[in-house]
Amino acid sequence: MSIKRSAFLRNLAFGLSTSFVLAACGGAPTDTADSDDPAAADSAGSEAVTGTLTVATEPAFPPFEFQNEDGELDGFDIDLMTAIGEAAGLEVQFESLPFDGIIPALQAGTVDAAISGMTITEERLQTVDFSRPYVKAGLAIAVKEENTEVATLDDLQDKKIAVQIGTTGAEQAAEIPGAEISTFDSAPLALQELANGNVDAVINDAPVTLDAIASGNIDGLKVVGELLTTEFYGIAMPKGSENVEIVNDALMTMMEDGTYAEIYQEWFGEEPPELPESAF
């Protein structure tokens, strides 16, 4: 699978401006684990959950989460979360949910965590907790290959834009004056709407749009301009969950012992960028 997905990288290198790559190398702090929350040691009692962690995901977001040809969940997030479970001695049970249903499910406590290419935002932090950042990404604009009019956000005024519901891309689109926004349940559906010529642009996470183009899943689209944002993905958990510490400890261990880099290599074909300890 890694071979097929490496198309994502080629595209990154050629297609997009190098800004994603540059962003990925951008000067993140190099502090390591030990400065991490000294209070954590006191709160002890790490044995949350019962041995099984129910983890929500919206699996139409390759290469992070998707259903493979055998109908199984696959992707970077899936491999990472499974490895976190192994490191923490917990069995991970995935549950597919609509993206905009994930935070409500966490709040209601019907799932223990969510890994879904979910950006750590200040707004979401009001209602859920996040693990430390595990991916650096950002939003990008996609248009039809032949479109020469759109290069920046400003060019999208009064245009038709498709987005996935409940995403940071949807929020970004909502701020564009005069834009007519159509929301879809998944990113591929939004991209298909663009390919069909029914909208002028899609605002979506750059790695996912680039993967859709590179894998040939969607034809006739290109990514324009610079990344609109820098975003960090985190694993979301209910506010105050004891699992935050467990997940962070596992992530930390995996970042130090090379397991994280191995999984990253497998999906993105390169060394992971430096990641900050927290998104804000």
Site residues (vs ligand ARG, CB under 6 A): 58, 61, 65, 99, 116-119, 164, 167-168, 187, 205
Q: What's the closest the beta carbon of residue 31 comes to ligand ARG, in angstroms? A: 25
Cβ closest to ligand ARG, residue 117 vs residue 238? 117
Q: What's the closest the beta carbon of residue 267 comes to ligand ARG, in angstroms? A: 15
Cβ closest to ligand ARG, residue 72 vs residue 149? 72
Cβ closest to ligand ARG, residue 123 vs residue 146? 123
Q: What's the closest the beta carbon of residue 163 comes to ligand ARG, in angstroms? A: 9
Cβ closest to ligand ARG, residue 182 vs residue 253? 182
Q: Judge whether 116 and 166 are in contact, CB under 8 Å.
A: no
Residues across the chain: 280
Q: What's the closest the beta carbon of residue 212 comes to ligand ARG, in angstroms? A: 12
Distance of alpha carbon 120 from alpha carbon 149, whole angstroms = 32
Q: Which of 254, 213, 224 is nearest to 76 (CA)?
A: 254
Distance of alpha carbon 196 from alpha carbon 191, whole angstroms = 9
Cβ closest to ligand ARG, residue 118 vs residue 150? 118
Q: What's the closest the beta carbon of residue 264 comes to ligand ARG, in angstroms? A: 17
Q: What's the closest the beta carbon of residue 137 comes to ligand ARG, in angstroms? A: 7
Q: What's the closest the beta carbon of residue 258 comes to ligand ARG, in angstroms? A: 26
Cβ closest to ligand ARG, residue 122 vs residue 146? 122
The β-bridge partners of 205 are 139
DSSP calls for 187-216: HHHHHHHHHTTSSSEEEEEHHHHHHHHHTT
Dihedral over alpha carbons 208, 213, 215, 217 (to 10 degrees)? 100
172 three-class SS? helix
Cβ closest to ligand ARG, residue 104 vs residue 258? 104
Write a three-state SS string for 107-152: HHCCCCEECCCCECCHHHHCCEEECCCCEEECEEEEEECCCCCCCC
DSSP calls for 211-235: HHHHTTSS-SEEEESS-S--EEE--
Kindly state the tokens that stand for 22.
């540059």
